[in-house]
Structures are given as structure tokens and as C-alpha cells.
Amino acid sequence: MTYLLEGKQVTKKFGGITAVDGVDFHLKQGEIVAIIGPNGAGKTTLFNIISCFLPPTSGEVLYKGERLTGRKIFELARLGISRTFQNLQIFNNMTVLENIMMGVHIKLRTNVFSAGFRLPVVKRDEELAYKQALDVLEMMELKPFINEKAGNLSYGLQKQLEFARAMAYDPTLILLDEPMAGLNDAETNQMAGYIKELKKKGRSFLFVEHKMATVMELADRIIVMDFGKKIAEGTPDEIARNEQVIRAYLGEEAV
């Protein structure tokens, strides 16, 4: 079976420290998979390998059966992969609309030659980018802030904006790094709602998250890491019944 995303014996060493140790994983089309674990478990390192920010020491990551390992970061967008960051990566001095259009432009056909000579394709691309940006703003309930500088938004709205920009070029796979970090309960529920709706439209998600209530609500499957190794994998119900996971990560109240 060819998975949308698959990792085979992914390993990362930093000197004498093994941060990720022979991890296998997979994600199917339309699935939401969470990676959990305590600080130092290796989940962020694994996430950075998947998104091509770090090369693995050994092993490989495949996307639609093709080798993803070794790709340049900028190639991911054209493959249909987007990513958000725990530390916001928005353009504070640009408007909300401009931030979204930056995401849309990644997949447009305009290049330096066509832009320089103002060929017809440039105007078509600009119109397409604007329309697509408006659609994303509508979906993410950011339209009232369309002309607001991103740096003036509340933290919760900035998180929405980063998520919206990740969706701007219509990706198939979205990698979310702590999407609920810093959000209050209402904002967390709102963000979870966006993810659920996008899943209904066929989007797939891999995310790292510490809020266990959110993980249990959203994830179809959960990968649990500790000291660089995958120690458990299964549905939320299966993970909730795993005694090792309960003791180490969820607490006895999850029994």
C-alpha cells in the first residue's frame, strides 16, 4: 500500500545523542495523526526531518511513494505540503490579505521574466491570488481584518492567520507544530473546528501537540515518542488504555 506520507527507520543523531531512533510511521489520505511525547522525546526533531528542515542521519521519508528526504524546503509547497510553526512565522508589517497572498503566490505560474514584461499571465495570476486569498480569509473568519497589519492582531488571530496562509495554496498535507499553543479554550475549539472541516474536504494532517484533550478529540491515530523511540501507536482509545502511555504522558485520570 502506498501511503500519503511514510517514514522508514528515520534516525537522527547529534554527535553522541540519538534524538530520533529508527522511527517508522505512516499517514493515509484524509487522516489526522498526532505525535505526542514529553520534552526531549524527539517529536520536534522528527517533525523537522519530515518537513525537510533537517536531514536524517539514516532512514527516509516518502510522500505518495516518492522520496521526500533530500528535497529543498521550497519544493514542499509545489508537492502539496504546507507547515505552520509553534513560533509564529507571519509578516507583521504586511496586512492580513498580503500575508495570505504570499502563500497563494507559491503555486502560481508567474516568474521573473513574465513579471518583468507584465505578460498576460501576470494579471491572471494576480486575480487568481486575490480571489483565492479572499476564499481562505472567508473560511478562516479573518475577512473583517483584511486590511489590518498582521502585527496588530491578537495572538489568537495571528495563529489563525498563520494557519490560513498555510492553507492558501490548497495543500493536500498540512504539518502543524503546536497549533493550539498559547490559545485559550474558545480559540482552541475554533482551531479544532477548522481542522475538522478541512478533513471533511480531504485534507490530511500531521501535528505535534501538548494539549491532550485536543489530541484525543482530533486524532485518528496517535504516535507516542519517548527518548527518540516510538513507544506506542494507535487510536485515541487504544492509547488511552495503554498503561505505559497513561503513566508517562496522560496521567492516571485518563484510565
pLDDT of 251 over the 70 cut: no
Domain with CATH 3.40.50.300 in the chain: 1-80+171-255
pLDDT of 106 over the 70 cut: no
What does the DSSP assignment read for 40-106? Answer: TSSHHHHHHHHTTSS--SEEEEEETTEE-TT--TTHHHHHTEEE--SS----TTSBHHHHHHHHHHT
- Residue 85 has a CB neighbour count (10 Å cut-off) of 16
Span 217-223, mean pLDDT?
A: 96
Which strands sit side by side in the sheet containing 32-36, from one edge to the other? 81-83, 173-177, 204-208, 32-36, 221-226, 229-234
pTM, two decimals, is: 0.86
pLDDT of 118 over the 80 cut: no
Give the Cα separation of 97 and 168 in Å (integer). Answer: 11
Tell me the residue type at 132.
Answer: Q
pLDDT in tens, 53-88: 999 999 999 999 999 998 988 889 889 999 998 788
What band does 39 get if pLDDT is binned at 50, 70 and 90? Answer: confident
Beta-carbon contacts of residue 118 (< 8 Å; ≥ 6 apart): none
The highest-level CATH class for domain 1-80+171-255 is: alpha beta
Mean pLDDT, rounded, of the chain: 88
Backbone dihedral angles phi then psi of residue 40, each to the nearest 5 degrees: 85, 5
pLDDT in tens, 227-241: 899 999 999 999 988
